Amino acid sequence: MIQKKSPEEARKSLDLIFHDLTRSLRVKDELSRFWLFILIMFCIVGVWAWGYQIKEGLGITGMRDYVSWGMYISNFVFFVAVSLIGLLISSIMHLLKIHWAQPISRVAEQVAIAAVGLAGLIIVMDMGRPDRFLNVFLHGRFASPIIWDVTVITTYLVISLLLFYLPLIPDLALMRDRLKGKIPEIQYKIYDILSLGYRGNAQQFKIIYHSLRTLMLLIIPVGLAIHTVTSWLFAATLRPGWDTTIFGPYFVAGAFVAGTAAVIQVMYVYRVRYKLKNYFNDEIFDRMGKTLVFVCLVYLYFNINEFLVPGYKMKTAEGIHLTELFTGKSAPIFWFTQIGGLVLPILLLLIRYFRKPFPLTFIALVTLVASWFKRYIIVVPTLEHPFLPVQNVPEHFVHYSPTNPEITITLFAFFAALLILTALAKLFPVITIWEYAEHQGIEKKIMFNEYEN
Amino acid sequence: MNNANSRRNFLKMAGLTAASAGVAASAGFLSSCNRIEAVEGDRIKLLTSSGELVEVDRASLTPAEIPSLTENQKRGRAGLPGRKWVMVIDLARCRNARKCMEACQTHHQLRPEQHHMNVLQMKDAENTSPYYMPKPCMHCDNPPCTKVCPVNATFKREDGIVLIDNERCIGCRFCIAACPYSARVFNWLEPRDSEKYVGVTYNIEANVPQKKGTISKCLFSADRLRDGKLPSCVSACPNSVYWFGDQNEDAVTNGTTGETVSFSNLIRDNAGYTLLEELGTKPRVYYLPPKGRAFPYQGEIHPS
Amino acid sequence: MKKTIIIGIAFWLAGLSPAFGADNWPVPEEYNVMDNPVEFNNQNVRAGRDIYDKNCKSCHGDPGNYNALPLVPPPPDAASEIMQANSDGQLYYKITIGRGAMPQFETTLGSDDIWRAITYIRRFDPRNEGKLVEEALRKGKIYALVGNYNSTIDIVAEEELTDNNIPLSNTTIFVRAKKTFGNLLVGSITTDENGRASYAIPQDMKVKSDGQVDFILSLNDDFETVTFSVSGVQVKQPDSNVELPRVLWSTNDRTQIWLLFTYFAALIGGWTVIGYVILQIYKLFRLGRNNKP
């Protein structure tokens, strides 16, 4: 299916590909400066709000003794969920040799790194005593799901970074070979060092290929563990709404929905912003749309299990919780997450038109927002209905409503994640050049031949 | 031991009388070094086991009674040997007087909205009669809270008490999420009167001084138990609601009347039960059903 | 709900209002003329005192000492005029029905006991001054030894008369066990004609983990308060240090082996693979350096 190109053709084609895919490195217009300014400003405001929170205590948030986990934990779960897309696209689809997904594997890794990094930060921001974070390592209690979570998140972050870095090495070598003098000296120096003197010879490629395969296999259990363990933070308690055995797979399925929707957003931005229409082409969007339908169907199946089974029985405590979700105060959010986040994407994306880039991106955005609220609806309503009545406390203990500093810190996480994504896109090609070129029938020999001894 | 250090030390006194006797006895000694005392202002804040913060002269106290922070944490983690504390709450006798809540908040430096002990108004089902239910920590024998703590900041001692080390707590609040009895409170803001407690060495068995960003909860007044006293709430109740004792001895004593009865007989004869026992937490707090009540249920009202 | 609140507020106001004091507690007509069926004698006063101490003292204080709890409305002292101004029937009504902080004792005390408590309260009525001739309390003495390999307490009781001591025969000795916060009545035994008794320590007695218990022996109310302690009776073997079970909720040192094994196996396994990949990257770095053109 891949036609071998003549050396002449191949060289020309490679030049074009390289030019297109390094455009993100070169774009330095007003818009990108403004974007960077916005991101950095919001990040500074967020860090300032965090400082304020450390000084005053977590009391500046809307959380209190009953609803003691709020937006931060919802956000944490959301980011952990989004990060799982790295597992699906750059590992599982690779191992299954699903070739259309190959150009988006770097996007998936970017998203995974940004999300899992932020997840780690959010959890520190949620701590009452972030100054004692090291206690987790000094006094860690191995029976606590939090210790498991810290362990797997750290591991997943390291694997994601490696999975990002390893396929990047040949690209860095290409940039080292082709960009001398065209980019700032310091940037060139970084590429030079990071490329590890890659020359595209068989021995070097074998090492990269072999390491990649190893990591792709390793990330499967670790990736599943990160979200399963995160679900256990809830499922390990006795509370109605959390006390269920399907939380592990339920969270994993939900994570694929959130992650797929997030990757579609990033793809679309890159496609428009970096003029990559031919790379993030309609076919990839179409297939991502179908993927979204598939993961939504799986997640819908788990949702039906999660709500229909206890809803059929309506045990006392579960009944209060479910009534609250179905018809009570949380009903608008609940039905938005179910319909906007699951039913609509499934129905709409079955139609070919809606799988075109723009409509798909819009639908995926709704799904992504619903995914965030889905986490919120998992965390908060359960805490609002403990087993024993909430009494003798002020009104704001009874119901949770996030405060401004809390929302600021939550927004910070999004802007910080976008900042990481932007930085990665500005520094490194958003598609693996050598891999893409190889699929276009360009041999490695041609890519690196200038320096072949 | 140098001054700066010892001033920070937390002292537990057998009672104020002992301290004043000490002042009288050492008056001669004091006058001889009056100047130094005046210069140093060597007064020390201490917490009596009833929860009062007093400031007394350091010279009037015997150094033997000063446990250091590490020592305090160590013995606090070990607990009192050979004990199995148990509490029985007689729902038939509760009037919602809330003396227990007040005493508890004084003892443990709690804000008005923070309750280690909370008197709830319960109604089990639509047609059942409402009743008042004082709710401390259940000190479960299968505690869901210590199970999830990532840093061992909350733990169960061998005498049955589930304690907190707020010098260790990272404030993740997983234990709040895990506790089905809503027994735990968090210091969302600066704790009550925190400025008064500056320099007071932490006493793990009273969880005082409280610290911002850490957890607190009912501790059965472990510091008072060490002194052979009943917990604050038990002693404060005017209506004989609380029985407290050592299950190994099979005896509980009423905090109001001082009457001591057999724990197993009390539970057996009055159909005692534990709260939410279907959850398998195995509480150490037992309830006697609200049958033959001493007071009629009066709703929200709790006249003092 | 609204109704309850209104009633509640009414109650509360009633409690606050000084006009609604003890004098102003309406008692139904039929109670005013009720007579105390319990005879006013030493025995009933004593019985009443026990009931009072257990049920009333915590709020009303010691009669005549005016050390009642500062509640609103204030619980009157048993010896006070306010209290004594009530007729027997009025007292009976108030004790039975209760109000505000005053419990409704009909649910916890029998009417005989309530009347006995009233009898005790009446002892502090000035009109009853001198009506009761207090019998002089007898003087007794108890000695005891632990006998028969810690299974019995051998007791000798005698009465101190002015000139000599005689054995106390057919007298009840109360046996209490000292517990952490109070003494628990565990049994009683009657002396024989020689003033001797042998109390068999119950085999199923629950004691502290050191297996020891302190017994306190005493005589009944006819005697001046006299106790005799038998300390440190080893009624059980001390609990040997049983190895504590490994449980999920405990600290690391007592957590389950399988858990530690699984955690560390996964941790070491995962990081070994990561370490291997990092080693490969190092290899790549070495290769690249050697390959430099």
Q: How far apart are CA C225 and CA C221, in angstroms?
A: 7
DSSP A350-411: TSGGGGSHHHHHHHHHHHHHHHHHHHHHHHHHHHHS-SS---SS-HHHHS----HHHHHHHH
Q: What pLDDT is stored for residue B22 in this prediction?
A: 36
Identify which has the larger pLDDT, C56 or A368: A368
Is residue A386 classed exposed, middle or buried when 0-12, 13-18 and 19+ CB atoms within 10 A define those classes? buried
Does C248 touch chain A if contact means CB atoms closer than 8 Å? yes
Instruction: Find the DSSP H helices in chain B.
Output: 3-8, 16-25, 27-32, 34-40, 69-78, 99-107, 144-148, 174-178, 222-226, 232-236, 263-269
Give the model's confidence band at C21: pLDDT under 50 very low, under 70 low, under 90 confident, else very high: very low
A contacts of B283 (beta carbons < 8 Å) = none
Q: Please tell me the distance in Å from B21's CA to the nearest CA on chain A.
A: 42
For the domain made up of C140-234, give the CATH fold. Answer: Immunoglobulin-like (2.60.40)
Q: Are A204 and C248 in contact (CB < 8 Å)?
A: no
Per-residue pLDDT tens digits for A279-317: 999 999 999 999 999 999 999 999 999 999 999 999 989
Interface contact A208-C287, CB threshold 8 A: no
In this complex, how many residue pairs, one in chain A and one in chain B, have their CB atoms less than 8 Å apart?
A: 141
Residue C263 neighbours by CB under 8 Å, 6+ apart: A142, A148, A151
| CA nearest to C283 within chain A | A207
What's the confidence (pLDDT) of residue A445? 79
Task: For chain C, give the mean pLDDT.
Answer: 84
Q: How confident is the model over C135-184, as pLDDT tens digits? A: 778 888 899 888 877 788 999 998 888 888 888 888 899 999 999 999 99
C179/B300 touch (CB, cutoff 8 Å), yes or no: no
> Which of these, A210, A279, A287, lies nearest to A433 by C-alpha position?
A279
pLDDT value of position C10: 47
Quick: pLDDT tens for A101-129.
889 999 999 999 999 999 999 999 999 99
Q: What is the pLDDT of residues C32-51, one digit of tens each?
A: 888 888 888 888 888 899 89
- For the domain spanning C2-128, the CATH number is 1.10.760.10
Q: What is the pLDDT of residue B59?
A: 59
Question: Residue B24 has what pLDDT?
Answer: 35
3-state secondary structure of C170: coil
d(CA C271, CA C162) in angstroms, rounded, equals: 91
pLDDT at B65: 56
Domain ranges of chain A: 7-236+403-451
| Interface contact C101-B259, CB threshold 8 A | no
Tens digit of pLDDT for each residue in C164-177? 888 888 889 999 99
List the single residue in A64, A237, A388 with the smallest CB-CB distance to B181: A388
- Neighbours of C, requiring at least 3 CB pairs below 8 Å, are A, B
Task: Suggest the residue from B182, B185, B285, B302 to mutate for an interface test with chain A (most A CBs closer than 10 A).
Answer: B182
What would the pLDDT profile of A186-239 be if each residue is shown by its tens digit? 999 999 999 898 888 888 889 999 999 999 999 999 999 999 999 999 999 999
Residue numbers of chain B with a pLDDT score lower than 50: 1-40, 63-64, 303-304
What is the DSSP annotation of B96-117? ---HHHHHHHHHTT--TT--SS
Write down all domains in chain B, each with its CATH number in brackets: 3-66 (no CATH), 83-288 (3.30.70.20)
pLDDT of res. B43:
66
- Residue with the larger pLDDT of the pair A404 and B27: A404
Mean pLDDT of chain A: 92
Q: What residues does each domain of chain C span?
A: 2-128, 140-234, 252-290
User: Which residues does chain A have within 8 Å of residue B115's beta carbon, measured at their own beta carbons?
Assistant: 392-393
* pLDDT, position C240: 67
Mutation target to probe the A interface, by most A beta carbons within 10 A, among B185, B186, B281 is B186
- B186, A390: Cβ pair inside 8 Å? no
- Tell me the shortest Cα–Cα distance from C74 to chain A, in angstroms: 26
Percent of chain A with pLDDT over 70: 98
Given this model, what pLDDT does residue B6 score?
39
Contact A141 B214 (CB under 8 A): no
CA distance A304 to chain C (A): 32
Q: Do A158 and C287 touch (CB under 8 A)?
A: no
In percent, the amount of chain C with pLDDT more than 90 equals: 30
Res. A449 pLDDT band, cuts 50 70 90: low
Chain B interface, mutation test: which of A72, A238, A385, A387, most B Cβ atoms within 10 Å?
A238
The encoded tokens of residue B74 equal 């160590």
**Torsion sign over Cα A57, A63, A65, A70:** negative
Tell me the per-residue pLDDT of A34-81, one tens digit each, with 9 for 90 and over.
Answer: 999 999 999 999 999 999 999 999 999 999 999 999 999 999 999 999
Q: Which of C11, C57, C209 sits opposite B82 (nearest CB)?
A: C209
pLDDT of residue C55: 87
By Cβ distance, the residue of B120, B185, B189 closest to A57 is: B189
Average pLDDT (A399-406) is 94
